A and B are shown apart, each in its own frame.
Chain A
Amino acid sequence: KNQVEQSPQSLIILEGKNCTLQCNYTVSPFSNLRWYKQDTGRGPVSLTIMTFSENTKSNGRYTATLDADTKQSSLHITASQLSDSASYICVVSAPYGNKLVFGAGTILRVKS
């Protein structure tokens, strides 16, 4: 069964600190992996999208890495801000069809 597992389930960090969120997937074959940020009660907003041939992708203070051999991805947030408090969702898609496999998300809380 195609699955996406994220860790930790939740995380609290101090403003200004860095953090790394993990994503392991078993989706195969694999086409691309996305990280989304979702504020409570709002739609997900795309942070990065990577294909199997890409190892890293940055978007401002967000840097995603991908190891297609071990089927692992990480999202690193640098110099966290209060506005980074949200759920971060790892999403994987296969080459065919129009389905995304969602992870359960990591709830990040940044406190001052």
Chain B
Amino acid sequence: DTEVTQTPKHLVMGMTNKKSLKCEQHMGHRAMYWYKQKAKKPPELMFVYSYEKLSINESVPSRFSPECPNSSLLNLHLHALQPEDSALYLCASSSPGMGQKNTEAFFGQGTRLTVV
């Protein structure tokens, strides 16, 4: 199984809503990532979890709150988002880390988020 599964595939939320994005992998990867991708732009790194601990936060606004309950799951909690936060949110995983030789990184299919 080389899949990274993200749910939901699509999400529309109001600016006062609270929602969560979920990501799951069963490849035994110990590094998991959240990326944000705007149309026709490359993905931008948001957070990295390594061995269930937050290792990188790319100065993401606090309205995005990541959580890694265990080595297979990664959540992104959303609260009080703005319309400009609308984007494709991608989850990825790798083992042991992206910088290691021949480390494969797998991406999920993404959650298309629209903030209204």
Contacts and interface: CB of A to CB of B under 8 A. Distances in A.
Interface of A: 31-32, 34, 36, 41-46, 49, 51, 89, 93-100, 102-105, 107
Contacts of A89: 42
A46 B106 contact: yes
Contacts of B104: 46, 49
Nearest to A104: B42
Nearest to A54: B102
A105 B88 CA distance: 16
Contacts, number: 71
B96 to A, nearest CB: 9
Nearest to A45: B107
Interface stretch (B14-22, B48-56, B77-85): B48-56
Given A32-B99, A51-B102, A100-B45, 6 more contacts: A32-B102, A43-B108, A44-B107, A93-B103, A98-B94, A98-B97
